[in-house]
Structure 1
Amino acid sequence: MTEQPTRTPELVLREPSEQVSPRAVGYWRLSAVPSVVLALVAGGAVLTLGDAAWWAWVVAVGLLLASLAVVLVMPGLRYRVHRWEVTHEAVYTRSGWLRRDVRIVPLSRVQTISTSQTALMRAFGLASLLVTTASSAGAVRVEGLDAGLARDVVADLTRDTAATGGDAT
């Protein structure tokens, strides 16, 4: 009888369990306001083409409605969709409000871990977590975490990846 090799726990592509901070909704909403301003300017420019044709009004109204949807609808959808989770084996993420991306990064593949904050994020007490790997899929970003939690996650991930075997390639 042959002996079965010992296997490590399998990493399964699954839905992560943690939500981003509820304050991320306000941050995303305020971040999208420039798109409304740009749409108003563009719509106004289209309407000032002299004798505004019916299509100019359609374009202007379409730009305004689309930009309002980005400000009013997108943040709530994004909050419901964005998930993340860090275990001792991997980082799991789900993101996207039009196209959904679910990713898993085994800790043995992690190369760097960092946080970043824009001035607006600092005002909301938020930060982004960035986990880079050797993968062609690129880095994994979790935007909208509580800033203190993001720092704690970086510390935990640093400790766990240091204890994980492999060369992160």
Structure 2
Amino acid sequence: MNEGVRLRPPRNRVERRAVGYWLTNELVSVAVPAVVLTVLAVLITPARPWLLLALGIVLVVGLPYALVVPFWRYRVHRWEVTEDAVYTRTGWLWQEWRIAPMSRIQTVDTARGPLEQLFGLASVTVTTASAAGPLKIPGLDHELAAGLVERLTESTQAHRGDAT
């Protein structure tokens, strides 16, 4: 491994719009079960107390989680690409710092779901032979992500390693 490749904090934040994307995603995750439980409580009279209890739990636990996690993720998530490696830091309660030397990268992909497209975002996935799985960089501007994939592809071709 190159001496310049060491585990260290990545320098770049994800796109600020990622907070809105994550917030929307989390609120939808709370709203869907809340709506289903509400409809069931209206339709099924004998089970109404239990359904309303479940609804209360979903709202009491889900809403604070949905409102806090996106901002925390924005504070924690970082990424950086150097000539030698890709660095990431992700997580919420359990944070993960990862490094992938260029010579170990096998594939580089980008993904844009419908909600990410609405916010102009994309995620980049860097796959290596590591048992820990791929490195993921979520919440990037979609144009930056496309440029990053192109840069990583060119860089990994220049760093001919065994990628294992």
- TM over 0.5, yes or no? yes
Unaligned runs of 5+ in 1: 1-6
SS state at 2:100 partner: strand
Counterparts in 2 of 1:40 and 1:160: CA distance versus 1, 3 Å? same
Deviation at 1:120, TM superposition (A): 1.3
Could you tell me which of 28, 32, 42 is aligned with 1:34? 28
- Which residue of the partner structure matches residue 154 of structure 1? 149
> Aligned-residue CA RMSD in angstroms?
2.2
Deviations 1:134-161 (A, max 9, x none): 1111111111000111111111111111
Deviation at 1:14, TM superposition (A): 1.1
Counterparts in 2 of 1:144 and 1:49: CA distance versus 1, 3 Å? farther
What is the TM-score normalised by the length of structure 1? 0.85
Q: 2: distance between equivalents of 1:51 and 1:94?
A: 44
Q: Which moved more, 1:79-88 or 1:10-19?
A: 10-19
Q: 1: distance between equivalents of 2:48 and 2:80?
A: 56
Residues 81 and 95 of structure 1 are in contact (CA less than 8 Å); yes or no, is this contact kept in structure 2? yes
The structure with the greater share of residues assigned to helix is: 2
Counterparts in 2 of 1:123 and 1:132: CA distance versus 1, 3 Å? same
Unaligned runs of 5+ in 2: none
Percent of pairs with identical residues: 45
* Number of residue equivalences: 161
Residues 41 and 48 of structure 2 are in contact (CA less than 8 Å); yes or no, is this contact kept in structure 1? no
Residues 43 and 64 of structure 1 are in contact (CA less than 8 Å); yes or no, is this contact kept in structure 2? no
- Which residue of the partner structure matches residue 63 of structure 1? 58
- Which residue of the partner structure matches residue 122 of structure 1? 117
Matched, 1:24 2:18: yes
Deviation at 1:51, TM superposition (A): 7.3
- Larger of the two Rg values belongs to structure: 1
Deviation at 1:41, TM superposition (A): 4.0
What is the TM-score normalised by the length of structure 2? 0.87
Deviations 1:65-98 (A, max 9, x none): 2211232111101111100000011100011112
Counterparts in 2 of 1:123 and 1:166: CA distance versus 1, 3 Å? same
Matched, 1:52 2:49: yes
